Structure 1
Amino acid sequence: MKKWECTVCGYIHEGETPPDECPVCGVGPEFFKEVVEKEEKTLTQAVLEPDSVAAEKQSKPSFFRKMVMKHHLHPIAVHTPNGVLPLALIFLAIATMFGLASFEQAAFYSLVFVLINMPFVIVTGIIVWQDRYKGAKTKVFGLKIGGAIIVVATLLALLIWRLVEPGVAASPGRWTYLLICLVCVAGAGISGHFGGKLVFGSRKH
């Protein structure tokens, strides 16, 4: 039986033809190439390279791009929103329900920290998307980008509201404020889920 490899995410499909859609990253069959065993390769296949591959080798990525890819800076960076945002939500929920100002303040500084980190998360994510996944425009990547937009938009809304109304956690609008924070966490969860699918979904178990 033939094997087909997705050139975007590395998923391996077994069958006579490539799948209509990659189950991991969502690209079409044109992004699949047949996996040829080493002993079956001809001399021509082993030596000659497509023009696109040769051009790719000639292009020299910037120092920053190389560091992002070599040291996996995007997966490292996304741990900040994925880890801190749920904690901020818990702090804010405690402050909202029990009127504890110290927990509200902890939530506020947590949100500030995540917002400061988001540009690095987004930039490194774009680099990984372009370099590793060839900038594929599929549903998976659209959802990841959408999740990041939700996080940034809700963070800005939360922090601006808090600056305009410092006592928001004790105000009549506190439940709406808490709901926006929940949406922010959900946005991070969406991006994290599909990021994990891209990383681990193509691995053979």
Structure 2
Amino acid sequence: MKKWKCIICGYIHEGEEPPEMCPICKAPASKFILLKEEEAENSPGKVNKTSGKPKASTDPSDKEKIKALEMEIKEVRRKKIRLFRMVDFMLDQMLKHHLHPVSVHFPNGVLPVAVLFFVAALIFNMDSLATAGFYNIVVVLVALPLVIFAGFVEWTKKYNSAMTMFFKIKIIAAFVTFLACLVSLVWFMKDPGVLHSCYAWLFILINAGMLGAAGVAGFLGGKLVFKD
């Protein structure tokens, strides 16, 4: 049985033909390359053992083309000035040491706490809980630029800036999270008593949307990591 690898996310498919679409990153069949026998045995990741419907075969020479392209990229990098080489090295280290999945745990862990504080402040009419929620939102907003930048580096370097529906949704979710967090922070700074006003539920809704968007981004990130 042949094994095909998605060059975008690394998903492994087993069958006579590549799948019509990658179940992980939604890349088309043209983004799959045929693995050689020894490569297939050593390839990590989840394997789909369903052969699926016949489809136009991907040229096995794609593997060589990718290697040639990588060599050209490395050659260009060698010719860069020292500063750019240092920056490129730092970005490679960010990717190597998984800065994005590590950094994203900080805002994702604090976000639910912030929303819970705001909800509790609304229910129990306690300003101290609202203040606690505000400071948690500050922590999230401070952490988000690093998370987004690390995610951008990983997307460009590891996934070749693939603009499939999968990545579009993930990018939109990250943008909504950041925007909702910024709106919540600025609103509370301008009106600390917002949870006592007629706009209290709108404020809570914005924070709930922020939490939901962060959950979507985290779920999609998990699919990339675990290929599940």
Would the TM-score normalized by the shorter structure come out above 0.5? Answer: yes
1:48-67 equivalences in 2 (<5 Å): 50-60=67-77, 62-67=88-93
The one-letter amino acid paired with 2:132 is A
Please give the alpha-carbon distance, in whole angstroms, between the structure 2 residues aligned to 1:117 and 1:64.
19
- Corresponding residue number in structure 1 for 2:226: 200
Cα RMSD for the two superposed structures? 1.9
Q: CA deviation at 1:20?
A: 0.9
Which stretches of structure 1, 4 residues or longer, exceed 6 Å deviation after superposition? none
The share of aligned pairs that are identical, in percent, is 40
- The gaps in structure 2 that reach 5 residues or longer are 41-60, 78-84
The CA distance in 2 between the partners of 1:95 and 1:181, in whole Å, is: 13
Over 3 Å counting, the alpha-carbon distance change for 1:39 and 1:107 in structure 2 is closer
Distance 1:98 1:118 in 2: 30
Q: Which amino acid aligns with 1:147?
A: A
Structure having greater relative contact order (Cα 8 Å, sep ≥ 6): 1
Aligned residue number for residue 27 of structure 2 = 27
Q: Any idea what SS the aligned residue of 1:4 has? A: strand
SS at match of 1:5: strand
How far apart in 2 are the matches of 1:172 and 1:77? 36
Q: 1:39-92 deviations in whole A, cap 9, x for unaligned?
A: 99xxxx9xx774212123335461320221121110111112211111101111
Structure 2 SS opposite 1:119: helix
Once the two structures are superposed, the pairs formed by residues 11-26 of structure 1 within 5 Å of their partners are 11-26=11-26
Match of 1:9 in 2: 9
Gaps of 5+ in 1: none
User: Quick one: which amino acid aligns to residue 25 of structure 2?
Assistant: C
Q: Comparing 12-21 with 61-70, which one deviates more in the overlay?
A: 61-70
SS at match of 1:38: helix
